[in-house]
C-alpha cells in the first residue's frame, strides 16, 4: 500500500513539473503585457483575451496556421504512402544489402537538420520548390520517412508470414489482402507513425525557415512578428504557443488507443 502511494506521489509530482510551463504560458496569454512585465501573478489580475483577438483578427496569423496545416498534412500523407510499402518490403523479403540499406535510412534520421539545410536549399531552388507547401513537405520527408519505415517494419515483422500465405491461398489478390487484412493488423503502428510524422513536421523550424521566405511561413517562425519597436508582445507569443499545442492534443486524442498499443507492441 505504501509503495503504491509513493508511486502515485512521484507520478503526480512529475506530471506537475511537466505542466508548469504549459500553465505559465496559458497564464501569460490571459493577461495584459503590462502585468506580465511589472509583476509576477500566478492568476491573471486582469483577465483579457486581447492576445487571442490579435491572432484571430490577423490575416497573417490565420494564413500561417493554414499553410502550416497544409504542409504538415501533406507530409504525413506522403510519408505514409512511401513508408508502408517500403516497410513491407523490409519485413517480408530478403534482398542484397538489406541490413545496410536499413541502417543507412536510420542514419539519415539521426543526422542533424543543419547538415542538410544548405544542400536541400540549393537543390530545391533549382527545382523551384522553395517558398511553397510542397517543398517543405518533401524536405520533412527526409527525416520522417526513415523513422516511419523503422516503426512500421517492427509492427509488420511481428505479424507471421503465414497470414500472407493463407490469404493468398484463400483467393485474395495482393491489394485485397493488403487493404482488408494486413493494414487493419498494423493499425496501431499506422497511428503511431502518423502521430510522430505530424508532430515533427508541426514543430520543425530549421528546414521550414530555410525553404520559405514570403509566401509560406511556418507557425514557429511567425512568432517573431511579435517583436516590434516596443519590444516583445509576450501575450501574443504565449497565445500562439497555446494555439500551436491544440492540433497535437487533437491528434493524440484520436490516435490514443493506437498509440497505447503501439508503445506496447512496436518499436516505439
Question: For the segment 186-204, what is each residue's pLDDT rounded down to a tens digit?
Answer: 888 888 888 889 988 888 8
- Work out the pLDDT band at 79, boundaries 50, 70, 90: very high
What average pLDDT does the chain have? 82
Domains held by the chain: number: 2
| 24 and 75 share one domain | no
- Nearest C-alpha neighbor of 83 from the set 133, 135, 140, 151: 151
Cα→Cα distances 118→111, 124, 139, 151, 262, Å:
14, 10, 12, 28, 35
- Work out the pLDDT band at 262, boundaries 50, 70, 90: low
Task: Determine, yes or no, domain membership for 70.
Answer: yes
CATH of the domain at 106: 1.10.3720.10
Please answer whether residues 186 and 148 qualify as being in contact, where contact means their C-beta atoms are separated by less than 8 angstroms: no
| pLDDT of 58 higher than 90 | no
This prediction has a pTM of 0.81
Q: Tell me what the mean pLDDT of segment 202-229 comes to.
A: 71
| 223 and 92 share one domain | yes
Show the domain range for 39: 1-48
Task: Determine, yes or no, domain membership for 10.
Answer: yes
| 21 and 39 share one domain | yes
pLDDT reported for residue 224 = 56
| 24 and 87 share one domain | no
| 19 and 73 share one domain | no
> Could you give the CA distance from residue 95 to residue 90 in angstroms, rounded to a whole number?
9
Q: Give the range among 41-50, 54-63, 72-81 with minimum mean pLDDT.
A: 54-63
| 95 and 194 share one domain | yes
> Could you give the CA distance from residue 110 to residue 142 in angstroms, rounded to a whole number?
11
Task: Determine, yes or no, domain membership for 224.
Answer: yes
Query: DSSP letter string over 131-191?
Result: TSHHHHHHHHHHHHHHHHHHHHHHHHHTS-HHHHHHHHHTT--HHHHIIIIIHHHTHHHHH
- Nearest C-alpha neighbor of 137 from the set 54, 93, 80, 221: 80
pLDDT reported for residue 42 = 85
Q: Where is 232: in which H helix or E strand?
A: strand 231-232
- Left, alpha or beta for 171 (phi > 0: left; psi -120 to 50: alpha)? left
| 219 and 113 share one domain | yes
Task: Determine, yes or no, domain membership for 53.
Answer: no
| 187 and 224 share one domain | yes
- Nearest C-alpha neighbor of 101 from the set 84, 86, 117, 82: 86
Task: Determine, yes or no, domain membership for 84.
Answer: yes
| 44 and 64 share one domain | no
pLDDT reported for residue 230 = 55
Please tell me whether residue 130 adopts helix, strand or coil conformation.
coil
Amino acid at each position: 500500500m505504501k509503495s503504491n502511494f509513493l508511486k502515485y506521489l512521484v507520478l503526480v509530482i512529475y506530471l506537475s513539473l511537466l505542466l508548469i510551463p504549459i500553465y505559465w504560458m496559458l497564464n501569460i496569454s490571459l493577461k495584459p503585457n503590462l502585468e506580465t512585465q511589472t509583476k509576477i501573478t500566478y492568476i491573471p489580475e486582469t483577465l483579457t483575451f486581447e492576445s487571442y483577438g490579435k491572432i484571430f483578427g490577423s490575416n497573417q496569423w490565420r494564413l500561417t496556421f493554414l499553410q502550416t496545416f497544409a504542409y504538415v498534412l501533406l507530409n504525413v500523407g506522403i510519408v505514409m504512402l512511401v513508408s508502408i510499402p517500403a516497410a513491407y518490403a523490409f519485413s517480408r523479403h530478403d534482398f542484397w544489402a538489406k541490413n545496410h540499406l536499413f541502417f543507412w535510412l536510420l542514419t539519415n534520421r539521426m543526422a542533424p537538420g543543419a547538415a542538410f539545410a544548405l544542400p536541400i536549399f540549393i537543390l530545391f531552388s533549382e527545382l523551384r520548390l522553395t517558398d511553397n507547401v510542397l517543398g517543405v513537405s518533401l524536405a520533412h520527408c527526409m527525416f520522417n520517412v526513415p523513422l516511419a519505415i523503422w516503426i512500421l517494419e517492427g509492427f509488420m515483422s511481428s505479424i507471421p508470414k503465414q497470414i500472407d500465405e493463407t490469404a493468398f491461398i484463400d483467393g485474395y489478390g495482393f491489394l485485397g489482402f493488403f487493404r482488408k487484412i494486413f493494414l487493419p493488423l498494423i493499425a496501431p503502428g499506422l497511428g503511431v507513425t502518423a502521430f510522430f510524422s505530424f508532430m515533427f513536421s508541426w514543430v520543425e523550424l530549421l528546414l521550414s525557415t530555410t525553404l520559405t521566405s514570403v509566401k509560406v511561413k511556418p507557425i514557429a517562425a511567425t512568432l517573431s512578428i511579435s517583436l516590434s519597436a516596443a519590444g516583445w508582445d509576450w501575450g501574443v507569443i504565449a497565445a500562439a504557443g497555446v494555439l500551436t499545442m491544440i492540433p497535437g492534443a487533437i491528434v493524440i486524442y484520436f490516435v490514443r488507443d493506437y498509440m497505447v498499443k503501439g508503445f506496447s507492441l512496436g518499436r516505439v
